[in-house]
Structure 1
Amino acid sequence: MKIRHTLALSAALSAFTTPAFAQDAATQDEVPPAIDASEIVVTAVARGQNVLDSSVSVSSLNSEAIVDLAPRSSAELIRQIPGIRSESSGGEGNANIAVRGLPVASGGAKFLQLQEDGLPILEFGDITFGNADIFLRTDYSVARVEAVRGGSASTFASNSPGGVVNFISKTGTREGGSLGLTAGLDYREFRADFDYGGSIDADTTFHIGGFSHIGDGPRDVGYDGARGGQIKANITRNFANGYVRVYGKYLNDHSVAYLPNPVLVSGSDADPTYTSIANFSINSDSLHSPNFRPITTLDQANQVETYNINEGMHPKVLAGGLEAEFDIGAFTVTNRFRYADISGAFVSPFPGSVTGAQAAANAIGGPGSSLFYASGPQAGQIVANPATLGGNGLVANIVTFNTRLNSLDNLTNDLRATTEFDFGGGSASLTGGFYYSQQDIDTAWLWTSHLMSVEGNGDAVLLDVRNAAGVPQTQNGTVGYSAAFFGNCCRRSYDLEYTTKAPFAALGLEFGGLSLDGSVRWDFSEAKGRTFGDGPVTTRDINGNGTINRAETLVSVLPTTGAALVDYDTDYVSYSVGANYLVTDSFSIFGRYSRGGRANADRILFNANNVDPATGALRSSDVAVDFVKQAEIGAKYRSGGLSFYATVFDARTEEENFEATTQTVFSRAYKARGVELEGAYRMGPFSLSGGATYTDAEISRDNISPANVGNTPRRQADWIYQATAAYDSELFGLGVNAVGTSDSYAQDSNQLVLPGFTVMNAFVNLRPTDGITLSLNANNVFDTKGFTEAEEGSIPANGIVRARSINGRTLSASVRFDF
């Protein structure tokens, strides 16, 4: 359903504008590369504070650091922030992201909110096949990225108790612009970035920026999997007592969604060795191929429709908003409003299993079955020797995730008023506000099943099976017009609307070097709508030739009656209290305790134990909201060019969840303790910065699988870390960057280990003349193998594990013109 709202009300609210995350329009475009004691924290706090005076853990990256690091996705950039675990292996989106100590039981960023200019990209960061980072792109329009872990994120944003990562845009306070052209040297992608901003008159500034790209992307898929772009623009009018800003964004992009790929694992679960399969590099290949493009299935109305796998992750966003801040009497009234029309698709092949070619044929057609090429240069010919098919004799039983994102439309408005006054010999600030959002989740799962060779370089082909009598068992490589390899599950549609209303308040006190603050938020969440599915399996003449083959007996349809209703309300209270003491001008200590909630959305549906399908009511209020409780104690030091921050944390997390790829339901609790470290040093043109987080985590309760209690949550490493060393002079700059993790477990059973790894990145910049910069960037210089997840919990008999890996080495060259 489309968001229903009153335009007149929206316009009225917008007349006050800017939210609980407002930034000063005059200072946001440029900040130092490292956190500075004088830098103002604007994300997830009641009012702007410098770092040493705040009782939150915060980090930022500025625009120049973003350019130097040349991340291939937003998730690759986010992994540079201390304390954040970003599994950047999904491509331009579809990353799993979590803050220190909090789990990633399923996909997306459940407890972390991704924002653009202080408002959420989506209200829920883990919508199935609609993760928030899919709709986020990093380009020259970004002034800085600011991240708050834990703390006041519980009360200054809804559904984000773990933290907030805020991508803050340039607003034209610095006159000039840039044009950058980038080409992959060992991968095929070409990209153009631009931005320009400045003054229209003495009181008005503007900024415009964006990008366009085309090519395979960082992995060889054999077609233009990456294509499209983005444009963002804003205009700011300054007044004597405030400002008004109008802004917009248009994103229409395609990128390849990398899902788990087959890799050979030998040794033992505790000490495994991961090796690429013959003719398939786990670092640079994918099961995507130009020989697997059209996908025929039934659409949401149960009519035959053909889609294309090259649609990939396809975000379409048309967003606009209005922001302002004004001093009215003793109050500073701020508000931010945005409406985003969001749609698109998520299409990608998932290997339900990988097995020997002949065994795969026999499993479909019975003993004595034969394989035939269904696509590619040998289409129609028999596979003479299945043992050598594709150079490795393997076949992938593919379930194609073809999900239509009909509407993820999002309306948000955040209004607050702040006043300051003398109190008890010190000063006080009082903030009150109200947040409102509507979030559509209108999606359809139209999955199909296919048989495919396992080949790299974009050479994989579809395969047909004929039984011993020569009767076709598949149709043009299609095994079934359903998720046949998943038991014909998952023909679904969601038509939902979530409304969130949240009054919030904060009180801050300062007495000399002592700062105290407390905040509270009361979220009211309303879920309404309906779902259909999982669809029944029937017989249908898909190709219209008047006969029925085996594949056409495996056709999933969406039921048109008998919708499961969703109709429930819930509310919860979040709070956060903190104290900071400035011991000296360069050293402070702080402590904080917070409880924040996350309202669950689509992932608790299709489960009658959670929601009554007849009435839409909750079976138990416990499944509606998951709470996170966090305690933090830390110290901050900054003097001259040296800064160092340390935070000890304790986190307790509840979680109700569902994972689409494994059809697994989660109902459990976690606890974690650890320490987060961050430091930076600058001396002249030389700088060094880094961070490391140690986490000791365990599953403390599991209602589904009690045997997991006491185990380490899957993919939770003891250590994650990052470091950058750079030298920057007038003529040239160079730097190296390392990002790494220690060992973790593939699954909660704590058997198969995902080995730790360190990725080295490097950059060199040359400035032959003013306004021109030549750059060479290398990501994963040593082509390191790094695995972020695996479907198998232990090594199977054939030694083939389906795992998602980081990208291998990619080299790019660019020229940038500044003017």
Structure 2
Amino acid sequence: MFNKNVIAISIAAVFAAPSGHLFAQEAAQEAQQAEKSEVQDIERVIVTGVTRNMQKMKATFSINTISEEEMKVLAPHGAADLLGNIPGFFPEGGTAGESHNNVLVRGLPQAGGYRYVPNLIDGLPVYEEPEAPFMNNDVFIKPDLMTTTVEAVKGGPGGVLYSNALGAAVNYITRTGTQDFEGAYKIEVGDWGHVRNDFFVAGPINDNLTYALGGFYRVADGIRDPGYTGNSGGQFRGNLLYISDDGTTEVKLQAHVINDKTNFYQNIPYSITADRAPGTPENPFEVDPSSVNNLGVDFSDGTVLSHQTSFYELYNADGSQLKLDISDGIEPKFNIYTFEISKDFANQWRLDTALRATSGSNGFHALFNDPPTERSRLEAEQFSRIQSFDGVIGDSYANATGVKAFYSDTVTGTDLSTAERADSILAHNIPVYGMVDATSYVGDFRLSRFFDFEEHSHELTFGLYTSHYTYEVQSVFASAYSNISESSRLVDLYAVDENDQQVGPSISQGGVDQPALFGLGADATMRTNAFYFLDHISMLDDRLQIDIGGRYQELEVDRVTTNSFDPGNSSNDFTPSDVVVGSTNDTLADNFVNVPDGTPQFASESYDAFGWTIGANYRLTDTVTTYLSYADTFRLPGFEDYIFGGPATNPSTGDIARGDLVENIKQYEGGIRFSEKNYEFNFSGFYIDFAAKETLAATLDDLSDTGANGVSCSAVPAPDDCAKIRDSYRTSLKTHGIEFEGKYRPEWLDGLSLQGSIVWQDPKQGQDSAIRSAIIETDTDGDGINDTRRYDVSSGADRRPRRQSQWLINVRPSYTFSELPVTVYGQVMHYSERFSDDGNTNVTIYPGYTQLNAGMLYSFTEDMEFQLHVNNLNNADSFTEGSSVTEGLRFSNGDYTGVARPLLGRTIKASLMINF
């Protein structure tokens, strides 16, 4: 029968690396011999990508696993950091912090998040949509001692059994109780003010009923320390498992509560010495880390966040104040309840039912960064701006001789002669407030039957999947300034006279020059239903395994949106009624406020698709199998497609130009697996043919139009009332690659273990048409003044998708001493160079990097173990994402400017774990 307890225990035992649970030489030798015996004798069992437990060697598809013991040695900072140990996954180093990272898989092009990699807990999504804006999939995924195994399916039946699993599906398997009582407590400390407590207890209630309880609570300043406690909170979860006397009925109830807060790290401003022109497709600009200047914030552990730059007063749509506290970080608060029942009936019938209800909210409080600016340029731009005003505001600036930037904390009145001028280079910050309220109700019903037909046996499963989920979001993006330092200070701009006395309204207030650049508002209800089947066939005396399956799924959407960039919206003037307009008590910051207050846009939309798969596995010998799979699957649209994408190519006319939003993928894969007493190897090759959804380009002025007074929209300056254009296009991707994953324990050196993976991929994009992506102003007559505007036409065709490496290498050696209760281990992770972007005409390459991790385990007794772990031992220096080097982003000395998200620097943590 299908027994989750047996599965979890078997997987953990099979893949457990030497852990140092030793306290004498004799015990060490016995443990090593026992380990070798386990590798040879225990069947490796998987539960993901299959309808019933199966040996990993028999899988007809690509399957990777991370055991509980391996998770301990990897010591990840969060879910994305852990996923970087699955071949073909690139989680961008977990550089955003513990949560809200980007996870890419097998070269598939995406803006970020988990678009093609849904994360499941025990086979079900916690929330149906894996890439919800302001609520990435990993806010629900927090591995702890209740997590026994992580399994990842790429291709094959993954897209048939699970929603949105176009690239892969990752399944986190939860501990359940057995008839033997067990438990553990772990305390962990790190050199970034990190203290974490983990625990679990599990055991019997009676002969049929068991329980498991566990979770964690953690506080930390943050690896990039903002000067306050950035991480605090955790999760608690528990389950009850009932198994009938005859073993035919299994019922599980599970509750899971998340109340957490984590720092969200964003890009850091930089400059680069200008020793050559920006890159082109034929001659990319390759960033050399040694030529990159940090401008005041250390790349390894610095941040522009501080007490001052964490608090902003923004606006709601009705003009009321909205207080943004960035110290709240990523703040999920969810209650998750799961019910599962499995029943075996006569004649080999089986029914599996799984239901999950999720409700709660996720707060998104972040500080993004645009490329930095020079104070002198910003002051000149703002002075030119105020000179263009007329009426009361224009008159109030009549005596101004310039604009100056001062530190906000030194301004005490209208006499600015004693205030401190801001630094010569400033950070342009984008404070972001997002709040999501969400619910998700999921049901998965499977009816299976075993039967024999002539010379082969079948396990035929029919499934019905349904999900009803809601998404309500409010968000505001603002603009603010500060200096660039690790104790950054807010900067405000004032018009001044020749004596540095304030003239007219302040240009910014509380560091904010625009308390709302734009916002996103939506309230949506979605329903998705799917029917699927999978037939697992065993032939030739169980030597040949075949999987054939298909999935039909439909999605219905009812939504209303109020986005401040929709056609017809305009800026709001929220000047308080008790403020005299144009006085020094006034501020321009509340005069031009773009909040999501547009006319509500209602829509009901529906989508559907069908996908299928076929795969085979043939056992060549008792220790060698080979497999081949094909999958033609899909992903239905997500929130960013049907809520925030907007349907109109031409905002002026509202012409509908958006086309197919369903994404399709064809995946071919073949491989061979070896499993002997001392080694396990898997070699595979894959080919992917992917068609993305239709995408809308930027909204731009129509340069062929004329505006006020007959002035051409191609002139500089352009009229304000130019008609708009918006191109649409569709990208595709073809990629092939090779994956190797293996473990080796040589007989010639007891205690040594080598494992890891090597991935090579060559993804290349296609694009059905070039698009007008931006407008460039040019100087046509050589007088130093731009006089003509033209389109920047670009295409991502024949390029590798942004932020995707060709080589991903992960090697993890360990050694357990025979005479000491000590295991030492290391890790070498290498990612080759990556393109910062894949669509514009300026092509920039961020360098490859090699990161080293290391640690040791020391066992005081069989039940007490100490661990020391060092992450990024060598302080590897590179960026996982960032802006492109362009001609338009330069300082006055010619240096290029931009922003990028660096790797997290070296960290050290230690833990003590007690098993009981």
Tell whether the structures are fold-level matches, with TM greater than 0.5.
yes
User: Match for residue 645 of structure 1?
Assistant: 682
1:678 aligns with 2:741: yes
Alignment of 1:712-751 (within 5 A): 712-728=800-816, 731-748=821-838, 749=840, 751=843
CA–CA distance in 2 between the matches of 1:73 and 1:552?
Answer: 40
1:122 aligns with 2:127: yes
Find the residue that maps to 2:63 and give its secondary structure.
strand
1:257 aligns with 2:345: no
Task: Choose from 460, 467, 474 the match for 1:430.
Answer: 460
State the 1:135 CA deviation: 2.2
CA–CA distance in 2 between the matches of 1:23 and 1:612?
Answer: 57
1:175 aligns with 2:189: no
1:305 aligns with 2:322: yes
Find the residue that maps to 1:122 and give its secondary structure.
coil
1:341 aligns with 2:407: no
1:199 aligns with 2:199: no
Aligned residues: 781
How far does the alpha carbon of each residue in 1:512-559 deviate from its partner, in whole angstroms, 9 at most, with x for none? Answer: 211111000000111111101225311112696455411111222332
Find the residue that maps to 2:615 and give its secondary structure.
strand
CA–CA distance in 2 between the matches of 1:45 and 1:610?
Answer: 42
**How well do the aligned residues superpose, as a CA RMSD in angstroms?**
2.8
Between stretches 246-255 and 93-102, larger displacement belongs to 93-102
Is 2:16–2:68's contact at 8 Å kept on the other side of the alignment?
no
Is 2:114–2:131's contact at 8 Å kept on the other side of the alignment?
yes
Is 2:836–2:843's contact at 8 Å kept on the other side of the alignment?
yes
CA–CA distance in 1 between the matches of 2:692 and 2:240?
Answer: 42
Instruction: Give the AA of the match of 2:805.
Output: A
Alignment of 1:532-611 (within 5 A): 532-534=562-564, 536-541=570-575, 545=579, 547=581, 548-559=586-597, 562-604=599-641, 605-609=643-647
User: Match for residue 4 of structure 1?
Assistant: none
State the 1:662 CA deviation: 12
Instruction: Give the AA of the match of 1:175.
Output: F
Task: Choose from 518, 521, 526 the match for 2:548.
Answer: 518
Instruction: Give the AA of the match of 2:753.
Output: S
Instruction: Give the AA of the match of 1:817.
Output: I
State the 1:42 CA deviation: 0.9
Is 2:753–2:814's contact at 8 Å kept on the other side of the alignment?
yes
State the 1:272 CA deviation: 2.1
Find the residue that maps to 1:91 and give its secondary structure.
coil
User: Match for residue 377 of structure 2?
Assistant: 359
- Structure 1's 666 and 236: CA in aligned 2 closer, same or farther, altered over 3 A? farther
Is 1:365–1:465's contact at 8 Å kept on the other side of the alignment?
no
Is 1:107–1:128's contact at 8 Å kept on the other side of the alignment?
no
Instruction: Give the AA of the match of 2:408.
Output: A
User: Match for residue 480 of structure 1?
Assistant: 514
- Structure 1's 384 and 233: CA in aligned 2 closer, same or farther, altered over 3 A? same
1:242 aligns with 2:259: no
CA–CA distance in 1 between the matches of 2:257 and 2:649?
Answer: 36
**Aligned-residue identity in percent:** 24
Instruction: Give the AA of the match of 1:814.
Output: S
State the 1:612 CA deviation: 12
CA–CA distance in 2 between the matches of 1:144 and 1:351?
Answer: 37
1:774 aligns with 2:866: yes
1:421 aligns with 2:439: no
User: Match for residue 102 of structure 1?
Assistant: 108
Find the residue that maps to 1:555 and give its secondary structure.
coil
Rg larger in structure: 2
CA–CA distance in 2 between the matches of 1:378 and 1:133?
Answer: 44
State the 1:728 CA deviation: 3.5
1:33 aligns with 2:15: yes
- Structure 1's 94 and 260: CA in aligned 2 closer, same or farther, altered over 3 A? same
Find the residue that maps to 1:76 and give its secondary structure.
helix
Instruction: Give the AA of the match of 1:669.
Output: S
CA–CA distance in 2 between the matches of 1:72 and 1:376?
Answer: 39
CA–CA distance in 1 between the matches of 2:128 and 2:685?
Answer: 29
State the 1:276 CA deviation: 4.4
Alignment of 1:277-288 (within 5 A): 277-288=294-305
CA–CA distance in 2 between the matches of 1:680 and 1:258?
Answer: 35
User: Match for residue 374 of structure 1?
Assistant: 408
CA–CA distance in 1 between the matches of 2:344 and 2:623?
Answer: 32
State the 1:263 CA deviation: 2.6
State the 1:155 CA deviation: 0.3
Specify every segment of 5 or more residues in structure 1 that has no aligned partner in the other structure, as ranges: 1-17, 484-489
Task: Choose from 29, 34, 46 the match for 2:51.
Answer: 46
- Structure 1's 115 and 801: CA in aligned 2 closer, same or farther, altered over 3 A? same
- Structure 1's 436 and 759: CA in aligned 2 closer, same or farther, altered over 3 A? same
User: Match for residue 913 of structure 2?
Assistant: 816
1:211 aligns with 2:216: yes
Is 2:479–2:514's contact at 8 Å kept on the other side of the alignment?
yes
CA–CA distance in 2 between the matches of 1:312 and 1:259?
Answer: 11
- TM-score relative to the length of structure 1: 0.90
1:92 aligns with 2:105: no
Find the residue that maps to 2:5 and give its secondary structure.
coil
Find the residue that maps to 1:804 and give its secondary structure.
strand
How far does the alpha carbon of each residue in 1:161-201 deviate from its partner, in whole angstroms, 9 at most, with x for none? Answer: 2111111111123632111111112x222111111111112
CA–CA distance in 1 between the matches of 2:853 and 2:411?
Answer: 38
- Structure 1's 328 and 279: CA in aligned 2 closer, same or farther, altered over 3 A? same
Find the residue that maps to 2:82 and give its secondary structure.
helix
How far does the alpha carbon of each residue in 1:737-762 deviate from its partner, in whole angstroms, 9 at most, with x for none? Answer: 12221011111147211100111111
Task: Choose from 268, 290, 296 the match for 2:313.
Answer: 296
- Structure 1's 496 and 302: CA in aligned 2 closer, same or farther, altered over 3 A? farther
User: Match for residue 400 of structure 1?
Assistant: 431
State the 1:118 CA deviation: 0.9
User: Match for residue 781 of structure 2?
Assistant: none
CA–CA distance in 2 between the matches of 1:612 and 1:507?
Answer: 48
User: Match for residue 14 of structure 1?
Assistant: none
How far does the alpha carbon of each residue in 1:630-659 deviate from its partner, in whole angstroms, 9 at most, with x for none? Answer: 111111111112111111111111223779
Instruction: Give the AA of the match of 1:294.
Output: F
Task: Choose from 127, 143, 151 the match for 1:146.
Answer: 151
User: Match for residue 708 of structure 1?
Assistant: 796
Instruction: Give the AA of the match of 1:478.
Output: V
Find the residue that maps to 1:622 and give its secondary structure.
coil
Find the residue that maps to 1:111 and give its secondary structure.
coil
Find the residue that maps to 1:67 and give its secondary structure.
helix
User: Match for residue 327 of structure 1?
Assistant: 344
Find the residue that maps to 1:362 and give its secondary structure.
helix
Between stretches 140-149 and 536-545, larger displacement belongs to 536-545
Instruction: Give the AA of the match of 2:824.
Output: L
Find the residue that maps to 1:467 and give its secondary structure.
strand
Is 1:527–1:568's contact at 8 Å kept on the other side of the alignment?
yes
CA–CA distance in 1 between the matches of 2:288 and 2:912?
Answer: 40
Is 1:254–1:315's contact at 8 Å kept on the other side of the alignment?
yes
Instruction: Give the AA of the match of 1:363.
Output: E
- Structure 1's 383 and 603: CA in aligned 2 closer, same or farther, altered over 3 A? farther
Find the residue that maps to 2:186 and give its secondary structure.
strand
State the 1:216 CA deviation: 1.3
1:690 aligns with 2:787: no
State the 1:686 CA deviation: 2.4
State the 1:27 CA deviation: 2.4
CA–CA distance in 2 between the matches of 1:434 and 1:159?
Answer: 15
State the 1:617 CA deviation: 13
Find the residue that maps to 2:804 and give its secondary structure.
coil
Find the residue that maps to 2:8 and give its secondary structure.
coil
CA–CA distance in 2 between the matches of 1:284 and 1:315?
Answer: 25
CA–CA distance in 2 between the matches of 1:114 and 1:618?
Answer: 34
- Structure 1's 815 and 506: CA in aligned 2 closer, same or farther, altered over 3 A? same
User: Match for residue 789 of structure 1?
Assistant: 881
CA–CA distance in 2 between the matches of 1:227 and 1:31?
Answer: 33
